[in-house]
Structure 1
Amino acid sequence: MTTSALILIGIDLAAALVLSLGLYYRRHHRRDLVVAFLGVNVGVMTVAAVLGTAEVALGLGLGLFGVLSIIRLRSSEISQREVAYYFAALAIGLVSGLPQTNPWPVAALIALVLVVLWAADHPAFLARTRHQLVRLDRAIADETELRAELAQRLGGTVASLIVQEVDLVNDTTLVDVRYRVARAGGARTAGRTATALTSPALEGAAR
C-alpha cells in the first residue's frame, strides 16, 4: 500500500469521526446513526480501495447510492438531514478509497463537505423556521381563516400549509404547516410554542 493511500485512509477516518461525532452526534444525539455513518464510510472506502480503478469506482458509487436508497425505504424513517449525512459519509469514503498520487486535493474536497454540513446544519442557520404537524380543535375549511388561527396559536408567520384532514364529525383539522417565529430562536418563544402544542386545544408533532 502506497504512502498516499495510507494518508487518505487516515484522512477518511478522521473525517468520518468529525462527521459522525463532532457534527451529527453532538447536535442530534442518535447513537444508532453514528454507527451507520461510520459503517457506511469505512465500508465504501474499503470496497473502493480494493476495486482500485476510477472506472469501476464510478459505477460502484452510483450503485451504492441506489442501494442506500433501497435500504432507507425498508428501514425506520429518517429525516432529510440524516440522508445528507449518509451521503456525505458515503462520498467521503468513496473519494478516499480511490487511488491517488496526490492526496491533498482529495483532503480539500473532504474538508469542503464537512464545512458545508457544519454550516447548513448549524442551529443558527434559518433558526426562525419551524415545521409542525398540527391538529386544531376546530374544523376550518377556509384557508385564510386557518392561516390566521395558526399564526395566533403558533406565535409566528405562516409561510405555507397543507391541509391533511378536515374532520367535520369530530370538528378537527389536521394541517402540515411551515412558519417563522416572531423572534429568532428565543427561549420564551420556544416555550410558548411547546406549551401550545401540548394543550388540549392544539396537538403538534415537531419534525
Structure 2
Amino acid sequence: MLHTRENWWPPGLYRDEAGYYLYDGTMDAETFSQARRSLNRNEGPALLYDLYPRSIDVAEHPGVVAEVWCMAEFPAHLLDADDWVMLFEEAGYTEDGKPARRPRESVTVYRGCHPDRRFGMSWTTDPERAQWFADRDLGRGTGDVYQAEISPGLLLAYIHEDHRQEAEYVVDPTALNNETVKMVRPARPFQS
C-alpha cells in the first residue's frame, strides 16, 4: 500500500487510473522535492521515472536524480539499472547533487554484499563502510567485500554529504564482471 500525504502535493500533481504520476506543466527541482517528500521514500524512483522527461528536465535539475537515489532504501531494486543509467547520464555527473567534473583517473571502490549482488551500482571508496554493508547483508547472513577499479566514464555520481556519509559512487554496471570485480574479503562467520 502506498503511503502518501496527497494534501501536501504540489498543485497539479496527480496519479492517473493506472497509478502513474502526472503533473500539469513543468516542474522545478524544489517542487519535485516537495512532491518526493510527500511520498514513502521508496516511491521517489517511480515519481521521477513517471515525470521524466515530460514534466521534469533532469539535465536542468540534475540534483533530483541523486536525491531520489540516496533517499530510497534499495534504489536499484526499484528501477532497472538501464533506467538509472539513463537518468544519471541525462543529469550529467554530479557530486552531492551538484554538477561536477568527473575524476580524471580510475577510482578504486568497494562493495559489501552477497555474491549475487556484486555487480550492483552502489560502491564506496571506504573499505570499512563496505565491510559494514557486508556484515548487514539483509536476509542473507553476511556478505563478501569486493573491489573494482572504475574508469571515469563509468562514474555516474558521487554522494557523500547526505545523511548517510557513505562516500558512495554510483557506477554504470555495464563494465562490471568477474574480471573487473574481485573479492578482497570473504564473508565473516555469522555472529548471533
| TM-score strictly above 0.5 | no
Give 1 or 2: higher strand fraction. Answer: 2
Q: TM-score, normalised by structure 2?
A: 0.28
Give 1 or 2: higher helix fraction. Answer: 1
Q: Which has the larger radius of gyration?
A: 1
